[in-house]
Structure 1
Amino acid sequence: MTDQSIPQARPRAADAAAPAASGADSAGGPVAGGISRRRLLGTAGATGLALGAAGGAAGYAARPAEATPLSSLGAGEVMFHGKHQPGIVQRLQARGHVVAFDLAAGAGRKEAAALLRRWSETARRLMAGEAAQQEDTGVALDAGPSSLTITFGFGHSFFARTGLEKQRPVALDPLPEFSSDRLDKARSNGDLWVQIGADDALVAFHALRAIQKDAGRAAKVRWQMNGFNRSPGATAHPMTARNLMGQVDGTRNPKPTDADFDRRIFVPEAGAQDPAWMANGSYAVVRRIRMLLDDWEQLSVTAQEQVIGRRKADGAPLTGGTETTEMDLEKTDRAGNLVVPLDAHARITRPDQNGGAAILRRPFSYHDGIGPDGVPDAGLLFICWQADPLRGFVPLQRKLDRGDALSRYIRHEASGLFAVPGGAAEGEYVGQRLLEG
């Protein structure tokens, strides 16, 4: 969960229209019919022409050249190369996939390095709106980058599998057990972790499929989960997201403009605890949190607000004001009772109530169908970022475990902790400083 103040993907300028002749584009590479995805995007942007999929399918009727684009949603582009990996500080995306892989039997450091090299090149190309480098499926052929981000991380078990135990960070030690945990081990942890997000569902799926195909014989999928958020532009103006309980969720998320943001979220370049390869990286805690919606929806709105500590309509604290008004934890009603209950979720999670512990929440909602009993399998793919989970997620979750009113309406069903190295520089792949250091 994150505020809308975090950086947006920069708009991607339309590419120049390209001739319809066969051939490869040096930027986009060949796709069906000899036209690169990037060149096809440029043609579509200039003339309104939309081509069919591979196999010589006929094109659709051209729109007039002066037609106004329906939306700029697809034009957003996030850079792959940078100080930090993409998918951490960008705003919430409409569609997401998280997937964990285990290295195949016999695969080690060499195979892992080759895999991360392939994955990084695929991520770079797809995030730029280009075709995948090998056997592109054409799923996202008509779309722009749509703010696609692809993020890579390493699990605790990865280091033993690759003979790199001495490079494993202390911060990657397994998370402690919590009383609200009902964890499915088959859907938890993993050697490698990939987070994919985009503002278009087909673009996100295209990336997921490309990453899976790139894994080849080096790694196999351990688990995979799908999520969603409200689409950009669905509200009249930018707003903090709502979760499936209907609550405004993410009001107090740290912002990149905060003076201590980098210190809380990213590993310093000269950290005393973390190995050098983790400089400018972060740690991702991933939790599949099922919401017991039938129980929650039986509560009155007033009772729900008491559980959270904020008004449902606008996210403002029960003590008054707007969403961003500081909560008055000492305010009492006429009977002398605290307006914000002691076990209210918003009170318990405040950094000033937890020794300054803070996390950057960037989740997706999920819905995996309705069971035979009519109960929805739905909730939150909770993803949070911090420079040190022992100072971020762990103390907050311990506090919640001891007395959060929300705990009786949720259940933690899967968990993972991953070391996410800093971004790759031009000509590098993610994790190169670990795997070739």
Structure 2
Amino acid sequence: MKDHHATRPAGEPTGPSRRRLLGTAGAAGAAGLAFGAAGGALGTAAATERPTALSSVGAARRPFHGVHQPGIADPAQAHGHLIAFDLAADTGRTEAAALLRRWSRAARALMAGEAPPGRLHDTGIALDAGPSSLTVTFGFGRTFFDRTGLTARRPAALEPLPPFSSDELDPKRSNGDLWIQVGADDSPVAFHALRALQREAAGTARVRWQMTGFNRSPGATASPRTARNLMGQVDGTNNPRPTDEDFERRVFVPAGGDPEWMAGGSYAVVRRIRMLLDAWEEVPLAEQEKVIGRRRSDGAPLSGGTETTPVDLDKRNADGEPAVAADAHVRVTAPETNGGAAMLRRSFSYHDGFRDDGAPDAGLLFVAWQADPLRGFVPVQRKLDRGDALSRFIRHEASALFAVPGGAREGEYVGQRLLEG
């Protein structure tokens, strides 16, 4: 996988960084800097003092341009926003192309740590921060193609996901014409990008739904570790890795595939999965581990070894029972029990307060990437539907599927090969 360093198209001026804008906003930004008693003093200091170096977290930068869009194979960040839009009633292909052009221009600037276009109206929430590993990823829903007259170019892989018995889906929080995934290791940077992109959509697309998630912050553990979900379980051990020989084949649409405009792209399945944490926390640890098929302490499979030891589905305990139960989550989802089906899970946890009964409205914003959802997500979810011990502790409350085109080349905007092809 090759990504190119992010640069601007020839003739397009490089925007000022968010940090430098603090001292160079001038009269247009003076009112904003005056908010609070220290506002004016901060502006003067920034204009005269040499800025200190950003921390390693703030300085980290992901390239916008490349074979693939950012935010797919990159490590998941600490803060994430998922947002879907529906095109306005009078919006067609021309207006959609203009929106993707604006979004791409804004994303390229924000990911470089620069102020977005139209910065005179910007709140400046991320003014002091660097890129903080910000990524912005764009996708198209099934209905986008109908609304823009591009039905003939819609991928066959965008067929609606089949219904599953565990679904309790809210249609208002599912699907959408367009989708954006925002991730960053700094919360204000992530929100700033979300707000800038939502503002660029005004008059062309309206928000259908939005979800906010989180992961562990960089440096929070003594050494890098696989993340844990809100059930306390290590989550993501068996994920495909970019170093795997078949990673590209599993995750990305190959060149020459159908349709051609999806070359280098991927398909994102998005599911809001609420965890029944009150019920889960009442279950003894040994039973929790049996449900998952792994030890909670270190993520090692119950068949033995360490976290990264392959699960031995044939191993039996001294009593003759399988070490990994027949309905354990790791057994049901294992590629070898699903015809080799695999996907790259890059999810966020979420907590949206408490329900009327006092239970936490919390769980997983599940995002799975694959070259073909009919060969990735669908067969695995069907298997889970038939007999996963974890099913009684979760509820699937929202669902969506998006075609995420390949990355923008230098001088391109995301989706240009579809919209102008």
Same structural fold, with TM-score higher than 0.5 when normalized by the shorter chain:
yes
Structure 1 residue 354 corresponds to structure 2 residue 338:
yes
Match of 1:167 among 133, 137, 153: 153
Amino acid at match of 1:115: L
- Alpha-carbon separation, structure 2, partners of 1:240 and 1:137: 35
2:41 is matched with 59
1:303 is matched with 287
Deviations 1:328-369 (A, max 9, x none): 111111211111100000111111111110000000000000
Offset at 1:59? 3.4
- Alpha-carbon separation, structure 1, partners of 2:162 and 2:348: 24
Offset at 1:137? 2.1
Deviations 1:5-24 (A, max 9, x none): x999x9x9xxxxxxxxxxxx
- Alpha-carbon separation, structure 2, partners of 1:426 and 1:238: 33
- Alpha-carbon separation, structure 1, partners of 2:154 and 2:54: 48
Match of 2:216 among 204, 224, 230: 230
Amino acid at match of 1:173: E
Distance 1:157 1:232, change over 3 A: same
Offset at 1:191? 0.3
1:103 is matched with 87
Match of 1:245 among 219, 223, 231: 231
Match of 1:264 among 233, 242, 250: 250
Q: Which runs of 5+ in 1 are unaligned?
A: 1-5, 13-24, 30-35, 44-50
Amino acid at match of 1:402: R
2:194 is matched with 208
Q: 1:119-158, aligned counterparts within 5 Å? A: 119-134=103-118, 135-158=121-144
Q: 1:329-344, aligned counterparts within 5 Å? A: 329-344=313-328
Q: SS of 1:304's equivalent?
A: helix
Q: SS of 2:40's equivalent?
A: coil
- Alpha-carbon separation, structure 2, partners of 1:85 and 1:59: 41
Offset at 1:136? 2.3
Are the aligned partners of 1:27 and 1:38 in contact in 2 as well (CA < 8 Å)?
A: no
Offset at 1:62? 6.3
Amino acid at match of 1:307: V
Amino acid at match of 2:214: F
Amino acid at match of 1:192: L
Are the aligned partners of 2:33 and 2:40 in contact in 1 as well (CA < 8 Å)?
A: no
Are the aligned partners of 1:308 and 1:346 in contact in 2 as well (CA < 8 Å)?
A: yes
Deviations 1:255-314 (A, max 9, x none): 01100100110001111xx21110100000000000000000000110000000000000
- Alpha-carbon separation, structure 2, partners of 1:323 and 1:42: 49
Match of 2:165 among 179, 184, 199: 179
Offset at 1:71? 3.2
Deviations 1:118-160 (A, max 9, x none): 0000000000000010132211000000000000000000000
Are the aligned partners of 1:284 and 1:418 in contact in 2 as well (CA < 8 Å)?
A: yes
Paired residues, what number? 404
Which protein has the bigger helix share?
A: 2
Are the aligned partners of 2:19 and 2:128 in contact in 1 as well (CA < 8 Å)?
A: no
Match of 1:197 among 155, 161, 183: 183
Amino acid at match of 2:97: A
Distance 1:53 1:281, change over 3 A: farther
Offset at 1:40? 4.6
Are the aligned partners of 1:139 and 1:206 in contact in 2 as well (CA < 8 Å)?
A: yes
Offset at 1:54? 2.5
- Alpha-carbon separation, structure 2, partners of 1:91 and 1:404: 28
Q: Which runs of 5+ in 2 are unaligned?
A: 7-11
TM-score, normalisation: structure 2: 0.91
Identical residues among aligned pairs (%): 69
Amino acid at match of 1:28: G
- Alpha-carbon separation, structure 2, partners of 1:55 and 1:309: 54
Distance 1:52 1:385, change over 3 A: farther
After the TM superposition, which of the residue ranges 387-396 and 68-77 deviates more from structure 2?
A: 68-77
TM-score, normalisation: structure 1: 0.88
Q: 1:42-57, aligned counterparts within 5 Å? A: 54-56=32-34, 57=39
- Alpha-carbon separation, structure 1, partners of 2:33 and 2:23: 21
Distance 1:321 1:212, change over 3 A: same
Q: SS of 2:32's equivalent?
A: coil
Offset at 1:372? 2.8
Distance 1:391 1:52, change over 3 A: farther
Amino acid at match of 1:317: P
- Alpha-carbon separation, structure 2, partners of 1:314 and 1:42: 48
Are the aligned partners of 1:365 and 1:380 in contact in 2 as well (CA < 8 Å)?
A: yes
Are the aligned partners of 2:279 and 2:393 in contact in 1 as well (CA < 8 Å)?
A: yes
- Alpha-carbon separation, structure 1, partners of 2:96 and 2:13: 28
Are the aligned partners of 1:290 and 1:411 in contact in 2 as well (CA < 8 Å)?
A: yes
Are the aligned partners of 1:41 and 1:144 in contact in 2 as well (CA < 8 Å)?
A: no
Distance 1:38 1:26, change over 3 A: farther
- Alpha-carbon separation, structure 2, partners of 1:321 and 1:52: 61
Offset at 1:373? 1.5
Q: SS of 2:41's equivalent?
A: coil
Offset at 1:246? 0.2
Match of 2:310 among 326, 329, 345: 326
Are the aligned partners of 1:7 and 1:89 in contact in 2 as well (CA < 8 Å)?
A: no
Alpha-carbon RMSD: 2.5
Offset at 1:212? 0.6
- Alpha-carbon separation, structure 2, partners of 1:159 and 1:59: 52
Deviations 1:309-330 (A, max 9, x none): 0000000011111100111111
- Alpha-carbon separation, structure 2, partners of 1:403 and 1:390: 20
Offset at 1:428? 0.5
Structure 1 residue 282 corresponds to structure 2 residue 263:
no
Q: SS of 2:212's equivalent?
A: strand
Are the aligned partners of 2:237 and 2:307 in contact in 1 as well (CA < 8 Å)?
A: yes
Are the aligned partners of 1:80 and 1:124 in contact in 2 as well (CA < 8 Å)?
A: yes
